[in-house]
Amino acid sequence: MLWALRGAGGAGFGVVTDLTYRVDPVPKTVLGGVIAWPLDQAHDVLAAYRDLYTGDADDRLGLFMALLTEPYPDGEPVLMLYGMYAGPPGRGAAVLAPLRALGTPLYDDFAEVSYVDLQRALGAEVPYGLQAHWRGGYFRDGEFDTDAFAVMVDAVATMPSGYSMIRFDLLGGGAIGRVPPDATAFVHRSSLFYASIIALWYRDEDTARNAAWADDLAAVLRPYLTGEVYQNYADAGLADWPAAYYGANYPRLRQVKARHDPADLFRHPQSIRLR
């Protein structure tokens, strides 16, 4: 069961009522913050970000990017980088220097900061109560590149809602990639770059056009993606969600489900199927 919960905890095995977990130590003070560039510099910055992580990136460098509005949600589209270096701040400054030297940033507030304060700040911007429509997937090897960049930069310039965004997460590679894909239920170990197309809006009457923006972009981006989807970013519209979420690990997940929940008590539209 523990094998299944590490990567398929929401797949319908039961309810976890108690757990013990081990955290990795990080310094109380880290190098962290946000950098933003104008949209016309996005291609060069995305390429440098790709090259940094497809090279020999330090595992302690956790950087994420997003195409979104700044100031949020009423400003113009920009490319934003945010994150931290989970090691000595002085070393982090050297690792981050190539990205900080690119183009002409709108601002760069990377500095030594409390780890706790940084986490609070990064979680405070998106307001409560928004409606959401979420699409996304992992990029094929070599496809997080110029053509895909152009598709996404063009799309963010036409977002119906200033709350929406295209976010780039690192959900594989590095320390994650050094674990075999069958060691846990999480199969997406080697795929590094991930795009989340996140449509966000308030009013019911705006639902159709915002959902269409995300769906249309997902369709155009599909040739660049593997078809796999990070299961914590669930997509209710996936036709073949078992393959997208779990790949080759799905048959074993069905065996675990049959053993621990043969009556299928814990079920939802994307829970593990017994038949």
User: How far, in Å, CA of 30 to CA of 260, rounded?
Assistant: 43
Task: Note whether residue 169 is domain-resident.
Answer: yes
Question: Would you say residue 24 has pLDDT above 90?
Answer: no
What's the rounded Cα separation, in Å, for the pair 156 and 158? Answer: 5
Alpha-carbon gap, residue 235 to 270, rounded angstroms: 9
At 14, is the pLDDT very low, low, confident or very high (cuts 50, 70, 90)?
A: confident
Residue 257 domain flag = no
Of 267 and 127, more confident: 267
Report the candidate in 182, 178, 213, 204 with the shortest Cα–Cα distance to residue 192.
Answer: 178
Task: Please name every residue paired with 35 in a beta bridge, in sequence order, or none if there are none.
Answer: 81, 108
Mean pLDDT of 8-22: 88
In a domain, 245, yes or no: no
In a domain, 23, yes or no: no
CA–CA distances in Å: residue 137 to residues 171, 186, 192, 218, 231: 10, 15, 11, 9, 10
Domain count, the chain: 1
What's the predicted TM-score (pTM) here?
0.94
In the chain, the largest separation of any two C-alpha atoms, in whole Å, equals: 60
Contact 206, 161 (CB under 8 A): yes
Per-residue pLDDT band at 66 (split at 50, 70, 90): very high
Q: What is the pLDDT of residues 249-261, one digit of tens each?
A: 999 999 999 999 9
Task: Judge whether residue 203 has pLDDT over 90.
Answer: yes
Flag whether 22 is in a domain. Answer: no
Question: Is the pLDDT confidence value at 21 over 80?
Answer: yes
Lowest-confidence segment of 9-23, 128-142, 160-174, 211-225 by average pLDDT: 9-23
For residue 68, give every residue at least 6 positions away whose Cβ sits within 8 Å of its Cβ, in sequence order, or none. Answer: 77, 78, 80, 156, 164, 165, 166, 167
Specify if 135 maps to a domain: yes
Contacts for 242 with CB less than 8 Å, ≥ 6 apart: 250, 272, 273
In which residue are the tokens 């911007």 written? 125
Around 143, how many Cα atoms within 13 Å sit in the side-chain half-sphere? Answer: 17
What digits encode the pLDDT tens for the residues 36-47? 999 999 999 999
**Segments forming the whole domain that contains residue 110:** 29-224
Task: Specify the CATH number for the domain of residue 138.
Answer: 3.40.462.20
Question: Model confidence at 48, in pLDDT bands (50, 70, 90)?
Answer: very high
When pLDDT is cut at 50, 70 and 90, the band that residue 124 belongs to is confident
Q: Is residue 268 part of a domain?
A: no
* Residue 239 placed within a domain: no
CA gyration radius, the chain: 20
pLDDT of residue 23: 87
Residue 195: what pLDDT? 98
Residues 159-184: tens digit of each pLDDT:
999 999 999 998 988 889 999 999 99
Mean pLDDT, all residues of the chain:
94
Pair of tokens at residue 73: 């949600």
pLDDT at 275 > cutoff 90: no
Percent of the chain predicted with pLDDT > 70 = 100
Residue 122: pLDDT band (50, 70, 90) is: confident
